């Protein structure tokens, strides 16, 4: 092999090594971009108001909630005994947690947008002010408690799930859900009695005691939603 051919061979080897390193770097860049995009796609909102203490649980890890913190699908938010916070969703809707409230926000994709729906309420009091503009016809926001489901046909309603305290009118029932509507309409059902659905209109509330059907709607203030000790 001539000196010139040897030089070409060394050059080709050097170019191959550069191309190999470049390919690895490019592949790593794509992996990082994909991970970043996946994380961005799972974000359903952010914390826009906070007083007192609250925690966020994600993938088995817990952190203190901070103002401006991103909230991802399947995150669990828990407000402390002195805590209140508001999560503003990507469509402009607001979830307002009172003290000692625990929720998990799930997500679905509608028209290419990641929206929070449904929300699970495990305890405490949650007010939901829903912007229906982005959701469109046929898409609904829902709040689920251990014994009730609320499907929104309106924009402003409040859900409370109480455990360990007798339900008014049902002294032997120690867990119940109250739903009050300030604007729009909400359909409420108990999964244990799925055919018994109650439609609650603006200015009314209903109670779902234990495994019984929802009560007939009554004017707001009749139950415990805005009564003493609710907040």
The answer to whether residue 224 sits within a structural domain is: no
Nearest-CA neighbor of 54 among 124, 117, 118? 124
Residue 121: the pLDDT is 97
Is the separation of the CB atoms in 93 and 119 below 8 Å? no
Question: What is the C-alpha to C-alpha distance for residues 160 and 82, in angstroms, rounded to an integer?
Answer: 17
Q: Which region among 40-49, 99-108, 159-168, 191-200 has the lowest average model confidence (pLDDT)?
A: 40-49
What is the residue-averaged pLDDT of the chain? Answer: 78
The whole-number average pLDDT for the span 162-184 is 94
Q: Is the pLDDT of residue 82 over 60?
A: yes
Its pTM stands at 0.72
Q: Is the peptide bond before 82 cis (omega within 30 degrees of 0)?
A: no
- The token pair at 15 is 């170019």
The answer to whether residue 136 sits within a structural domain is: yes
Each residue of 44-70: b (16+ CB within 10 Å) or e? bbebeebeebbebeeeeeeeebeeebe
CATH number at residue 88: 2.60.120.1440
Q: Is the pLDDT of residue 229 over 70?
A: no
The answer to whether residue 200 sits within a structural domain is: yes
For the ranges 94-103, 104-113, 135-144, 191-200, the one whose mean pLDDT is highest: 94-103
Task: Please classify residue 172 by burial: count the beta carbons closer than 10 Å to its beta carbon, then call 0-12 exposed, 13-18 middle and 19+ buried.
Answer: exposed
194 pLDDT tier (thresholds 50, 70, 90): confident
Residue 1: the pLDDT is 56
Question: What is the C-alpha to C-alpha distance for residues 81 and 54, in angstroms, rounded to an integer?
Answer: 9
Q: Which domain holds residue 154?
A: 44-219
pLDDT single digits (tens) 123-170: 999 999 987 665 454 446 889 999 999 987 767 999 999 999 999 889
Is the separation of the CB atoms in 112 and 131 below 8 Å? no
The answer to whether residue 133 sits within a structural domain is: yes
- The token pair at 99 is 């003290």
Residue 10: the pLDDT is 38
The answer to whether residue 86 sits within a structural domain is: yes
The answer to whether residue 70 sits within a structural domain is: yes
Is the separation of the CB atoms in 188 and 214 below 8 Å? yes
Q: Is the pLDDT of residue 180 over 80?
A: yes
% of residues, the chain, pLDDT over 70: 69
The answer to whether residue 19 sits within a structural domain is: no
Total structural domains in the chain?
A: 1
The answer to whether residue 212 sits within a structural domain is: yes
């Amino acid at each position: 092999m001539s000196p010139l051919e040897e030089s070409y061979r060394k050059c080709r080897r050097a170019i191959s090594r550069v191309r190999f390193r470049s390919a690895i770097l490019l592949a790593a860049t794509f992996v990082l971009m994909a991970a970043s995009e996946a994380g961005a796609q799972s974000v359903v909102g952010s914390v826009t108001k906070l007083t007192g203490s609250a925690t966020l649980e994600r993938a088995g890890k817990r952190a203190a909630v901070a103002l401006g913190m991103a909230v991802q699908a399947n995150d669990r938010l828990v407000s402390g005994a002195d805590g209140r916070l508001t999560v503003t969703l990507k469509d402009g809707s607001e979830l307002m947690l009172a003290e000692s409230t625990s929720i998990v926000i799930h997500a679905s994709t509608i028209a290419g947008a990641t929206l929070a729906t449904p929300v699970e309420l495990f305890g405490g009091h949650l007010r939901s002010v829903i912007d229906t503009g982005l959701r469109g016809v046929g898409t609904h926001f829902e709040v689920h408690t251990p014994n009730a489901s609320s499907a929104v046909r309106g924009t402003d309603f409040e859900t409370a799930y109480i455990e360990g305290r007798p339900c008014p009118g049902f002294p032997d029932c120690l867990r119940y859900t109250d739903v009050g509507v300030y604007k729009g309409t909400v359909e409420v059902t108990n999964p244990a009695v799925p055919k018994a659905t109650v439609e609650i209109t603006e200015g009314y509330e209903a109670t779902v005691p234990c495994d019984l059907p929802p009560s007939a709607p009554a004017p707001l203030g009749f139950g415990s939603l805005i009564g003493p000790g609710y907040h």
